[in-house]
Structures are given as C-alpha cells and as structure tokens.
Homo-oligomer: A and B are copies of this chain.
Amino acid sequence: MITIAIDAMGGDHAPQVPIQAVNQAIDKYPQVQFKVYGDQTKITPLIRTDQRIEVIHCDGIIDNEDDPVRAVRTKKESSMVKAARAVKDGEADVLLSAGSTGALLTAGLLIVGRIPGIDRPGLMPVIPTISSEHPHLILMDAGANADTKPINIQQFAVMANVYARRVLNIERPRVGLINNGTEASKGSQLSKEAYTLLSELDSIHFVGNIEAKNLLSGEIDIAVTDGFTGNAILKTLEGTVKSLVSLLKSTFKSGNLSTKIGAFLIKNPLKNTLENLDDSKQGGAVLLGVKAPVIKAHGSADEEAYINAIRQSIHVIESQAVVQITNYFSD
C-alpha cells in the first residue's frame, strides 16, 4: 500500500480541490491510502468516509507571503510541516502540496532531508513539447537553487535521468545542457565546467549544449541548467503562453462578424491544442534529491490537475526512482 501525505490547505482552491481529488482517487487507485493534513472542521464535511483516508488535524497554513525558512521552522503545526514530518518519519511515502513553492522546497530540505551524496536537490517540472513522438521535456533545476555549482548540474542530470527512465519510460533519455550556443566551447564559466562534468558521465546520454529556443521541439528529453536560469526559462515559457492566449482572445473578441464566426468554429480544436501545452497534465514538479519524493502541484491546480499529481505520486513510488537515485549516490 502506498501512502500519500496530502497538504490539504495548500493552493488557491484549498481545501476543496485537494479533497475532491482524494474523493475521486480513492476508487481509482486501490493501491493507495491517503493521509490528509489540514483543518479538520473544514475537511471532515467534504471528505468521503473510507478506511483508506485518514484526516490529521493541523493548525495554521503556510502561504506565499510567509518567509519559507522561518515559516517551516516556526509553524510546526501547519498542514505542510506536519505532512512533511509524516514522510520523514516513514508514515507516508510521498508528500503532495499545491502550497508555497519556497516553503515546500524548504520543508523538503529541512524536514524530509537530502539523500546522502547529493549536494543540492533540484526542482523538476515535466513540460509538454510540440513533438508527438517526444511529448515530454524534463527541466532541472527549475528553481530550487538560486546559486548553483557545476557538480550540482551533474547531479541534476543523474537524477532527472533516473526519473525519465523509470517514471516516463524513456529508454535512453537525451540530456542537453542549456547554453547560449551549441558549441562545446560556449557559455559561462559555470556552463563550461558543467559541460565537462556531463561529458565525463557514462551513466547518461549527454548530447551537448542546447539553446533555449529549441526546448519545445522534442530534440532532447532532459534539459539541465542552474536553478536561476531554469526558473527564468520556466517562467518565460508560462508567461509567453499566457500572453499569447490572451492576445488571441482579444483578437477574436474585437474582430468583425466573420472573425467572430471563425473564432467560434475553431474554439474547440484550439482549446484542445492549448490544453496540450498545459503542464499540469503531467502532474506537478518533483523535488528530487530528498529522501522521499516531494511533489508540488500548481497553485491554481483544478481537480483534474490534482488527480494527475496523485497519479504521478503513485508512479514515482512504484518506479522506485528515489531508491535508484539513493543507490547511485551511495556507491
């Protein structure tokens, strides 16, 4: 039985959405039980009664306004901290939250704890590409670290490689280093040294540098970079898609009659296409490098996105990716 610890108070639609997702998932996934952390008075009226669902009462919420380190250290009765503690103590296998990213990363580091041999865990979203043959791009680190050393990037590659193979079933993931040019000699001091370390690694299929303009084409499976750049890339991507969609909407809205008819006719296929770009279909971003998987669902995750994150949590545990990573670094 897999035990998922859910921070039911995190995210824009808490606790309704996490609870609805649990209510759905309990039938869908018979191999799972849930520990649901949050305000019992709010949760109990909403949640199904099932012997595989346990509600653990918590006081207080960590939100985006809180300083992550201080909040994790002081709000010991909050839903996020208590859920992290359960994972740490072996009472749950995986932590899932749609709460503050900073606080969740901190809880992962300070409570769940680093895997020995890994200097810095990294945050790893799975981004949809426009390639039907290679629909997934793993990005790591997407922002767990503001300052990164070459060895960290090498370790990101190892961890992402295990995830791609075991969870996404990509046989021989192509790993690229994000750089400002494709030649081996290109880049910052950091990226040049990371290039050398990645080249020396027999356990991965390193294909060299990749420019950020080619990330969505499907030509690589894993893009590694420092957390500052990765964060900027992920956010640029999100912002550009959002801006473009809002631009399309206003074009259709302000158009003449034939534009409006046209917009009506393409509405559904367009919606389907844009949904393919929605990375919440892939679940959440995984903090890899800590002793148990910590999964960050989008703050705005709806029920479907949350269920995707639950499914992903199950896959990560069943794949034993974290065990594999731990073994690799214990050698």
Contacts and interface: CB of A to CB of B under 8 A. Distances in A.
Given A188-B228, A251-B269, A255-B266, 17 more contacts: A129-B243, A178-B232, A180-B232, A191-B228, A212-B236, A213-B242, A215-B236, A216-B240, A217-B243, A232-B236, A237-B240, A240-B244, A244-B277, A262-B263, A263-B266, A265-B265, A266-B266
Q: How many copies does the complex hold?
A: 2
B216 A239 contact: yes
A189 interface: yes
A213 B228 contact: no
Most B CB atoms within 10 A — which of A235, A248, A277?
A235
A59 interface: no
Nearest to A180: B231
A130 interface: yes
A255 B215 CA distance: 26
Nearest to A131: B243
Contact of A146 (B180, B232, B236): B180
Contact of A239 (B215, B238, B258): B215
Q: Is the interface of A mostly helix, strand, loop or mixed?
A: helix
A189 B226 CA distance: 13
A242 to B, nearest CB: 7
Interface in A215-254: 215-217, 225, 227-229, 231-233, 235-244, 246-248, 251-252
Contact of A214 (B214, B216, B239): B239
A187 interface: yes
Interface in A270-294: 270, 272-273, 276-277
Nearest to A258: B265
A264 B252 CA distance: 13
Given A255-B266, A259-B265, A266-B262, A235 B248 contact: no
A254 to B, nearest CB: 8
A25 to B, nearest CB: 30
A214 B276 CA distance: 22
A90 interface: no
15 contacts: A130-B247, A187-B228, A212-B236, A212-B239, A213-B238, A213-B242, A216-B243, A225-B232, A229-B229, A232-B232, A233-B236, A237-B240, A247-B277, A252-B266, A259-B266
